[in-house]
Amino acid sequence: MSRKDVAKLAGVSEATVSRVMNNTGPIKPETREKVLRAAEQLGYELNALAQQLARQKSGNLGVILPHVPKVHLFSTYYFSEILSGIAEIARKHNVDLLMVFQDPNQPRDYSKLFRSKKIDCCIILGSTDSEEERIALQELTDHDYPFVIINQRYENQSFRYVDGDHLYGSYLAVSHLIEQGSRKIAILNGPKQYSNSTDRYNGYAKALQEHHILQQANWHIEGNYSRRSGYNAAQHVAELINRGEIDSVFAANDRMAIGLMEGLAELNLVAGQHYKIIGYDDSDGAKIVTPKLSTVSVPFYEMGEKAACMLLDSAYGEVTHHIVPVSLVVRQTSI
């Protein structure tokens, strides 16, 4: 009998069977009992026992972060909010956090952290959709190592994740610009290897389509989610504005929006006066920049909490994904 047979009889996923048999991750007592009964009925317990080594617990929840040279990671709104949410749940469960920085130029080997007993489970931030990343994540899955990815999804994969409703958030943002009279809306988006970049584009496209606005090729501008990439796009965007080819910009995060506003201001183009702009994230910078930036609010703190709960709280033991709601925040730059 296989793990798949046990899962089918118990009415749970194969991952849940693995967590029960290997005693890893939170599982509801009734679910555990159901799996054990199915395993006993099918004679699977001896197979499972052979796999179930007495794992030493490190007491650490690993948080894998991207190493970005010359970027103060912990001062960025996105990472600081998510990490604060993770830390709060870890504190409640008396678990320590182990920060691990992944150099993008080094081979991915997340399983090594588990094999060396450094961590019991992990949350992955900054994950990108590459073949190397998929292989590393599949290795975690194959060895039943518990993990959750934040803000990245993989098509045709069952990796556990927490994400924001970015398609809807982008749809709200662009619909708002249209309601304010905009008809020529550029998108300053992030790299395509992030699923949230795809979501933002799809929300943008949906809003335009519903309002019978035909996209133009020169409306698509790619950044990398940094303030600098927004600033560097300013000259090109200024030319589009001055030629009347666009009248507003949807930026896929606040950092790019603020960088673009700074660059355009140096070219005597003021947000809310010469063009409209809306960002995404509702970071602290959106509230203090002049003029104040319209944006989409994403509860990153809650995303961190949910990811940690999926690993540490038995009430979340069978949850495979969680989507947090987002909301529109209208300020001076889009009205």
Percent of the chain with pLDDT over 90: 68
Is the pLDDT confidence value at 73 over 80? no
> Which own/partner pairs from 262-269 qualify as long-range (CB within 8 Å, at least 24 positions apart)?
262/227, 262/230, 262/231, 262/234, 263/230, 263/231, 263/232, 263/233, 263/234, 263/235, 263/237, 263/238, 264/234, 264/237, 264/238, 266/234, 267/234, 267/235, 267/238, 269/238, 269/241
The model's pLDDT over 18-27, given as tens digits with 9 standing for 90+, comes to 777 766 667 7
282 with 240, same domain: the answer is yes
Taking the C-alpha atoms of residue 177 and residue 170, their distance in angstroms, rounded to an integer, is 11
Q: What is the pLDDT of residues 268-291, one digit of tens each?
A: 999 999 999 999 999 999 999 999
- Residue-wise pLDDT tens digits, 97-112: 999 988 777 788 899 9
Position 47 confidence tier, pLDDT thresholds 50, 70, 90: very low
Specify the pLDDT at position 31: 86
Query: Do 154 and 174 have their domain in common?
Result: no
Q: Are residues 136 and 177 in the same domain?
A: no
pLDDT of residue 54: 42
| Contacts of 236 by beta carbon, 8 Å cutoff, 6+ apart | 221
What's the CA gap between 72 and 185, in Å, rounded? Answer: 32
Question: Would you tell me how many other CB atoms lie within 10 Å of the CB of residue 46?
Answer: 9
What's the pLDDT tens digit per position in 245-255?
999 999 999 99
Query: Whole-number mean pLDDT of the chain?
Result: 89
Residue 243: DSSP 8-state: T
The whole-number pLDDT of residue 234 equals 98
User: Rg of the chain over CA atoms, in angstroms?
Assistant: 23
From 17, 34, 51, give the residue that closes a domain: 51
Tokens (6 digits) for 95: 């678990």
The whole-number pLDDT of residue 46 equals: 42
User: Are residues 200 and 84 part of one domain?
Assistant: no
The two tokens of residue 70 are 């010359």
Residues 84 and 37 in one domain: no
Are the C-beta atoms of 257 and 277 separated by less than 8 Å?
A: yes
Q: In terms of residue numbers, what domain contains 138?
A: 60-164+300-324
**pLDDT reported for residue 115:** 87
Better-predicted residue by pLDDT, 132 or 16? 132
pLDDT band at 315 (very low <50, low <70, confident <90, very high): confident
Query: Of 62-66, 120-124, 208-212, 313-317, where does mean pLDDT reach its minimum?
Result: 313-317
Q: Single out the residue in 51, 69, 87 at which a domain terminates.
A: 51
**In this structure, are 193 and 294 located in the same domain?**
yes
Question: Which of the pair, 163 or 318, is modelled with greater confidence?
Answer: 163
Q: Is residue 50 scored above 70 in pLDDT?
A: no
Q: Mean pLDDT, to the nearest integer, of 321-326?
A: 96
Beta strands at 147-150 and 327-329: parallel, antiparallel or unpaired: unpaired
Are 178 and 198 in the same domain?
Answer: yes
If one counts the domains in the chain, the total is 3
Q: What is the pTM of this model?
A: 0.81
Distance CA 111, CA 51 (A): 17
Are residues 235 and 211 part of one domain? yes
Looking at the predicted structure, is the pLDDT value of residue 237 above 50? yes
My answer on whether 268 and 223 are in the same domain is: yes
Q: Compute the distance between CA of residue 33 and CA of residue 10 in angstroms, rounded to an integer.
A: 9
The confidence score (pLDDT) of residue 48 equals 43
Count of beta carbons in the 10 Å neighbourhood of residue 299? 17
pLDDT at 52: 41
Rounded-to-integer distance, Cα 153 and Cα 187, Å: 22
- The domain that holds 305 is classified in CATH as 3.40.50.2300
Same domain, 209 and 290: yes
DSSP, collapsed to helix, strand or coil, labels residue 143 as: coil
User: Which has more confidence, 34 or 295?
Assistant: 295
Do residues 41 and 73 share a domain? no
- Clarify whether residues 276 and 304 are in a common domain: no
Check which CATH number belongs to the domain holding 34 and give it.
Answer: 1.10.260.40
215 alpha carbon, distance to own chain's centre: 27
Binned at pLDDT 50, 70 and 90, residue 51 comes out as very low
